[in-house]
Structure 1
């Protein structure tokens, strides 16, 4: 994988993590509460929100369900849109 692809990947993970965090705080949930709803550990959620870990599709769907949003809503960010153009 070249450096540009890695940088794009990092930007996508950061945008995804920020979107999850924004939806979580808007829902009035703590990391522990969302992690429990999604069936993952709070440290794992912390790494996802920080853009340091990539969630599997299954975990992404569980997070979306825990937030009461469509999984696509978590992927709709300006950074992701720019990366896919």
Structure 2
């Protein structure tokens, strides 16, 4: 198995966080508002958006519901170079 396919966890987490942040800002929601809608803490959401934490599937679904999007849209492939900040 190619090691590149298993060493990209931090890039995937960063891309997911960037997608959540992009959808949140497009929806006009603050971190606190989306966190409340998803039933998580503001600090946890901040860390997810920064790529420091990887949400569980349940939290991912709750975030998608709060954003009014399909959970799969948060996982769509994006260029990983644009996901890191």
Tell me the distance in 1 between the aligned counterparts of 2:62 and 2:79: 22
Question: 5+ residue gaps in structure 1?
Answer: 81-85
**TM-score of the pair, normalised by structure 2:** 0.85
Question: How far does residue 77 in structure 1 lie from its aligned partner after superposition?
Answer: 2.8
Gapped regions of structure 2 (runs ≥ 5): 81-85
Runs of 4+ with deviation above 6 angstroms = none
Residue 39 of structure 2 corresponds to 39
Partner residue in 2 for 1:67:
67
How many residue pairs are counted as aligned between the two chains?
77
Aligned to 1:77: 77
Q: TM-score, normalised by structure 1?
A: 0.85
Following superposition, the deviation at residue 78 of structure 1 comes to 1.8
Task: Flag the structure with higher helix content.
Answer: 1
Deviations 1:22-74, CA, capped at 9 Å, x for gaps: 00000000000000000000000000000000100000000000000000000
Give the whole-Å Cα distance in 2 for the aligned partners of 1:49 and 1:77: 16
SS in 2 for 1:35: helix
Contact 1:17-1:49 within 8 A present in 2 as well: yes
